[in-house]
Amino acid sequence: MVASAEPVAVKMVGLARDSRESLWERYNKSGKKALDVGDYDRAKLMFDLALIEAKKNSDENKNGSGTNDPTLRIAAATNNLAESHRLLGEYKEAEALFKEALALKEKALGEENMSVANTINNLAMLYQNIANYSEAEKLYKKALAIEEKVSSQENAPIASSLNNLAAFYDQQGRYAEAEAMYKRSLSIKERLLGPAHRDTASCVSNLGLLYLHKKEYDKAESFYKRALSIRQSTLGAAHPLVAAEMSHLAELYRVEKKYDQAEPLMEKAMTLYEKKLGINNLDAAMCMFNLGCLYRDEGKLKKAEPLFRRTLGVRDRLLGASHPQTLMAMKDYADLLKKLGPEKEQQAKELDARWKSLKTQSEKEAKSGRAKVKPKPSERNLD
């Protein structure tokens, strides 16, 4: 009965049949492809099916080894499912799954193993998401230490770990440490993959963000343009990561008050996000917020108002009312409403009062180390 159900399940999720690969492999690959295009809900479904398949077949191959080890297949599917939950902002589910995957890997492979380091890195990103900074830094360093110990030379996983730790330091305002690690990561990637490889783009983009923070705008523009060019040539013109790079470059232009360059770029990025991910997505919401800020700065207050309102709604739903990014959108929206005239005055007062109350709550959460934040761009590690 189970065997006859498999083709039905495969057909229902639109998965091509391939006798050369197991269902686990096909579900896992499909999940990775979904993550690549930003379809996190489909990725979660695929990895969930991969996990079910791995567990179902674990008794059939108890003595397997390597990629056929049933424990490692379960661990891989669990790690990947956790990452899809993390990207969807489902942090409690992600934390439990990452810890489960890590325990399985450490038992099967020992603590000093590259695959173990991958999951440690992912768990560190999760802790950065929820502002548990001390634990995040500890795990980032632990993952990097494992990789450097077990590797005879610098490799792609080490470059990714350097990038992630650098992004963490950037978020903390530790720019000198971040810059050194970004440059080392980029050097490794350029040597191993080439300067125009899709996996090199993330580090290039992150250096652009770092230089934006440091107000070194010419450098920021150079790195953002390079990242955008790489994304377009390797992913196509309509990929969500292309939209992200457009949004980054447009935000730089907004900061520099180059509005004539910022507006068409930001609007194009927003259109791409809406087509690919919809608006109920944190990355799309960030672009929407930035576009609202641009319209506000240009004095186009009526065009900015619905964007601030929609951004606030998305962040409130996905992150919670006391999240720092939600509060930022709330404060900016309240300030904008005040500028729109007497008819918006009462709404502005109510929103401002709510902001003040929630800000106090957020500050308490921050002191406890449990506030949720969106980290700087990091590199995920899938199995």
Q: What is the Cα–Cα distance from 269 to 296, expressed in whole angstroms?
A: 18
Residue 325 half-sphere exposure toward CB, CA atoms < 13 A: 24
The structural domains of the chain, ordered by start, are: 1-146 (1.25.40.10), 153-234 (1.25.40.10)
pLDDT at 58 (0 to 100):
73
Please tell me the predicted confidence (pLDDT) of residue 68.
63
For 320-356, give the secondary structure using H, E and C: CCCCHHHHHHHHHHHHHHHHCCHHHHHHHHHHHHHHH
Distance CA 268, CA 288 (A): 11
**Count of CA atoms in the C-beta half-sphere (13 A) of 93:** 14
Type of residue found at 120: I
Tens digits of per-residue pLDDT, 267-316?
A: 999 999 988 888 788 889 999 999 999 999 999 999 999 999 999 999 89
Question: Residue 377's pLDDT is what?
Answer: 56
pLDDT given for residue 90 in this prediction: 84
CB atoms under 10 Å from CB of 352, counted, come to 17
pLDDT of residue 153: 86
Which pLDDT belongs to residue 18? Answer: 54
Regions of the chain with pLDDT less than 50: 1-8, 367-375
